[in-house]
Amino acid sequence: MKALVYKGPGQKSWEEVPDPKIQESTDVIVKMVATTICGTDLHILKGDVPEVQIGRILGHEGIGEITEVGDGVTQLSVGDRVILSCVSSCGRCSNCRQGLYSHCLAPEGTPGIGWIFGYMIDGTQAEYVRVPFAENSVYKVPSGMTDAEGILLSDILPTGFEIGVQYGHVNPGDVVAVIGSGPVGLSAVMTSRLYGPSKVIAIDVDNARLTRAKDFGATNTVNSGDADWKEQVMALTDGQGVDVAIEAVGLPETFTMATLIVRPGGSVANIGVHGKPAQLALNELWIKNIDISMGLVNTNTLGMLLKLVAEHKLPAEKFVTHEFSFDQVLEAYDVFANAAKHDALKVLIH
């Protein structure tokens, strides 16, 4: 089969590799119908995730059709069309029983980390993929759901919702600021509306993305390239700051921005994947009584979000701006890595 293979920092190749095989009784083999690229894939290619070995197939999102099932799989069948969760979880360990699938104790490679696709085991940017713990790690695609809708449920919708909105404790009437209007940031913008905030402020340096943020539910936008960006945010509140500041970029500067605009008693929720440390001004922040949260998505809300997308309560299809075939995957990476130039959000590879 063909797959996108990591060759070391800055290097990747679409090449022939062996087909995956069933290794455990709880595995299934899935023929990939659609996949996509995540910002985490770009971090891996930059060398920010040194645990990823040369030769690893990248990718952790996808939709496909089951072609083979392990002996222990009873709830799935050959021919089932499924969404692959970016987190693989056994559903039985002590962490899984708490809904902390991101720290499942069973997966291969790094016990205690549920994200293994494209990290510890071969991923989804391939013609076929082996899925461990399949019955707790895939979801059947409802009739009528498109690939463009379903692909967002693998990772970015649950990530924006769980790590941004839920960890940020968004409540009715809150003022929410989301720093970064990329796919995950826009997922937080969109799903924050489920909790009834009074305002959702999208903050970004790209005016095109800020315009798009309004389509996903932002009530206000602020260009962080403006010298008075902080004053603009404060003017949209009572001068105290926002109730919830969500960081969705992964840079020290944007994390600091979140801490600068949160009000006393508010929350900072960090979604971004950081490649280097960020400073935390505890000498200034300790007196503000704020909560700071961060984490790896659990995908324990995937089933709920799946129902909302299926009923068109969340306009997930708006995220896909560019489509490619599997043999155009290198071109897809170029577009996604230069998103501002191409006005791209998510790319659909199918």
Q: Which two tokens stand for residue 112?
A: 């205690």
Going from the C-alpha of 247 to that of each of 98, 165, 262, the distances in angstroms are: 26, 11, 11
Burial state string for 128-148 with b = 16 or more CB within 10 A and e = fewer than 16? bbbbbbbbbbbbebeeebebb
Clarify whether residues 241 and 323 are in a common domain. no
- pLDDT tens, residue by residue, 262-310: 999 999 999 998 888 999 999 999 999 999 999 999 999 999 999 999 9
- The phi and psi torsions of 312 (rounded to 5 degrees) equal 60, 35
Does 111 have pLDDT greater than 70? no
| Cβ–Cβ under 8 Å, residues 246 and 188 | yes
* Helix 39-46 vs helix 329-337: crossing angle, to nearest 10: 90
172 and 151, same domain (yes or no): no
54-91 pLDDT, tens digit each: 999 999 999 999 999 999 999 999 999 999 999 999 99
Euclidean distance between CA atoms 329 and 126, whole angstroms: 10
Q: Which of 269, 294, 319 is the last residue of a domain?
A: 294
Q: Cα 185 to the chain's mean position, in Å?
A: 9
Residues 7 and 99 in one domain: yes
Residue pointed to by tokens 């496909």: 64
Domain holding 265: CATH number?
Answer: 3.40.50.720
Q: How many domains does the chain have?
A: 2
> How long, in residues, is the chain?
350
Q: Which residues sit opposite 4 in a β-bridge?
A: 14
Looking at the fold, whether 247 and 341 belong to one and the same domain comes out as no
The beta strands (E) that lie in 36-180 are given as 62-69, 81-84, 128-131, 138-140, 175-179
- The DSSP letter of residue 253 is H
Q: What does the angle CA 162 – CA 277 – CA 231 come to, to the nearest 5 degrees?
A: 70
Last residue of a domain, one of 294, 309, 332: 294
* pLDDT tier, 49 (very low <50, low <70, confident <90, very high otherwise): confident
CATH number for position 337: 3.90.180.10
pLDDT at position 108: 64
In a shared domain, residues 137 and 176: no
- Residue 49 half-sphere exposure toward CB, CA atoms < 13 A: 20
pLDDT at 164 over 70: yes
Residues 165 and 276 in one domain: yes
Q: Report whether 108 contacts 99 (CB < 8 A).
A: no
**Which tens digits make up the pLDDT trace of 312-338?**
999 898 999 999 999 999 999 999 999
Shared domain check, 136 and 103:
yes
Domain residue limits at 131: 2-155+298-349
Q: Cα–Cα–Cα angle for 239, 216, 275, nearest 5°?
A: 75
Per-residue pLDDT, 109:
58
Q: How many CB atoms lie within 10 A of CB 2?
A: 15
Q: What is the mean pLDDT of the chain?
A: 96
Percent of the chain's residues with pLDDT above 70: 99
Residue at token pair 């659609």: 34
Clarify whether residues 89 and 186 are in a common domain. Answer: no
